[in-house]
Amino acid sequence: MKRIACLLALGCAATLAHAETPEHYHYGMHLDIAKVISQTLPQGCEAGEARMVYLDSKGEQHTLIYQRTGEDCRY
């Protein structure tokens, strides 16, 4: 029983260690976006922080934070 608990603890630690940190977009940054998984956009019409989770061409998941106007703008 102790062995199973130890293996579970190691598995959880490995998962936490693999958690990626979001990357902030900067002008001229090369993006390798093969598939968008999810996107969170700012509310209202002001500029704000948007977040996109995507897979690159190697199938690795990334999170990108960038600035954009809210989705409620009507021009």
Q: Which residues of 12-26 are buried (b: 16+ CB within 10 A; e: fewer)?
A: eeeeeeeeeeeeeee
**What are the structure tokens assigned to 32, written together?**
């390798």
Round to whole Å and give the CA distance between 42 and 67: 9
In a domain, 14, yes or no: no
Give residues with Cβ within 8 angstroms of 73, minimum separation 6. 45
The total number of structural domains in the chain stands at 1
- State which residues form the domain around 33: 21-67
- pLDDT tens, residue by residue, 4-45: 544 445 454 444 444 579 999 999 999 999 999 999 999 888
In a domain, 55, yes or no: yes
**pLDDT higher at 72 or 29:** 29
Binned at pLDDT 50, 70 and 90, residue 3 comes out as low
- pTM here is 0.67
Round to whole Å and give the CA distance between 34 and 29: 16
pLDDT of residue 59: 96
In a domain, 1, yes or no: no
In a domain, 74, yes or no: no
pLDDT of residue 15: 41
CATH of the domain at 54: 2.30.140.50
